[in-house]
Amino acid sequence: MSISAKTNIGDVFIYKYNDSFYLYSPLDKVILKLKGKGYSNLMANQNKNHWKSQLSKYKVFSNTKPEVYEYVSTNKFDGVTFMMTNACNLACRYCYASDYQKKPSFMPEDIWSKTLEYAFENRDMKSNEFSLAFHGFGECTLFFKDIIKISEAFKRKAKTLGLKPIFQITTNGTFTESECTYLIENNYRVNLSIDGDKEINDSMRLQKNGKSPFEKIVSNAKMLSNAVTKERLLARSTVTSKSLDKMIESLEYFNSIGIRMVHFAPMDIRGAATGIDKLAVDINEFIEKLKECIHKASELGMKIYYGPFNFGIGTRFCFSKSKLTVDYSGRIIACVEAGENSDYEEFCFGNIREQQIGFKQDRIDKLNSISVYDYPECNNCLLKYHCAGYCRVNRIQREKNNSEFAHICKANENGFAWILNELTLNKDRVKSLLDFPVEQLL
């Protein structure tokens, strides 16, 4: 592989580790070890003003603001996400959506049918796939009959257009065995909210009647793990101050029931239920535990995900530039935190119930104007290509409430630098953990 064939020199970092130079290109998702002729060619292609500064801590060179145009909304979609309901059968202590469950609602057929029609009509013509995802402020599988109706309508429409249908669902795992069979037969990717073993999970995630849903969740998890590929079942584990020291045990437990991918999500006061400050984790302590889990997962052949460590480009924060996201009331929304009482009108981009469906472009433009590349404190950050302002929801809150998230940014940056060093020190050790191809430049 030659540098000129793929890598845009204007959007890379070079850093030195153990007397070797490495090129890290986040936009290309590639790390190249530079040596000999390859390194000479790279240096010849850059002008004297290309690199802005050298970070002494990591020996990383950073360029100026990149030309990234993924902020611009084209309203061309490769999929649709339905936030089906605000109702839930659990009473999780840290629930970000608990306020929305006071008046349970679910998505009527006129909304989901219009949404499907609009999404397909405005699809990205370059893609031969189209995705359908179910999420929610509550538990979408409470309305599984509707999920089936939507899925079948989606498959029929995709077939007529010659598109491959892709399915995904985020759920607490309390659905029935027959519903689990439907997910398997339709090759759903299942993101399962489960925090750890029974003790850990029951401490946070009980039913509203106080009973444990754990046996049902595990039964479904095992059924899924026995029937789907490991890339189609992921555990989303919320880490609180109560479970921080048990992350390794949680990882081992997930492995024991057949879950091979884990997304650890540290408990943050932002967006969470009120009165639970003591459940929040110290982000520096979380990063240190996550490092241990990365090595353990490597031994077990598992994949770990966490926010900026996923090596994705967070240019549109919670509102995907490629997915049309609509909630149960028909609002075209930017983020799962865009509840009716969110105080952030910017998160609502339009409404499917309107006679002429369309986006409120001024709100999109306002959100898209929030860029980490515009903040001096972010200029030399290793994470700036993977970040949307920690996330842009936080950036908005920071500006409105004059609160500071810099300590979280720095902890994430330190963890990210550690992972880059791990990749270059022994790329086979961690390659399986991250969706990040590591290539050697010969």
CA dihedral of 105, 144, 112, 335, whole degrees rounded to 10: 60
Write out the DSSP string of 329-362.
TSEEES-TT--TT-S-GGGEEEETTSSS----HH
The larger pLDDT score, comparing residue 171 to residue 350, is at 171
Residue 164 has φ and ψ, to the nearest 5°, of -85, 120
Average pLDDT over residues 21-27: 64
DSSP three-state, residue 83:
strand
Structure tokens at 357: 């469906």
Structure tokens at 185: 């037969």
Least Cα distance to 151 among 77, 84, 229 occurs for 84
pLDDT tens figures, 262-302: 999 998 765 555 567 788 898 899 999 998 998 898 889 88
The larger pLDDT score, comparing residue 346 to residue 303, is at 303
CA dihedral of 333, 338, 342, 344, whole degrees rounded to 10: -50
Average pLDDT over residues 235-246: 95
Structure tokens at 223: 């059924």
Confidence band for 18, pLDDT divided at 50, 70 and 90: low
**Is pLDDT at 177 greater than 90 in this prediction?**
yes
Q: Count the alpha carbons within 13 Å of 172 in the hemisphere toward its beta carbon.
A: 25
Class of domain 79-310: alpha beta
Average pLDDT over residues 119-127: 89
Average pLDDT over residues 84-96: 88
* pLDDT score of 204: 94
Q: How many CB atoms lie under 10 A from the CB of residue 311?
A: 21
Least Cα distance to 441 among 424, 417, 422 occurs for 424
Least Cα distance to 135 among 212, 74, 82, 57 occurs for 82
Is residue 36 left, alpha or beta, with left meaning phi > 0 and alpha meaning psi from -120 to 50? left
Confidence band for 14, pLDDT divided at 50, 70 and 90: low
Which sequence spans correspond to the domains of the chain?
79-310
Q: How many CB atoms lie under 10 A from the CB of residue 212?
A: 13
Structure tokens at 121: 């009509």
User: How far apart, in Å, are the Cα atoms of 136 and each of 70, 85, 155, 233, 316?
Assistant: 26, 6, 21, 18, 19
pLDDT tens figures, 389-409: 666 666 666 666 555 567 777
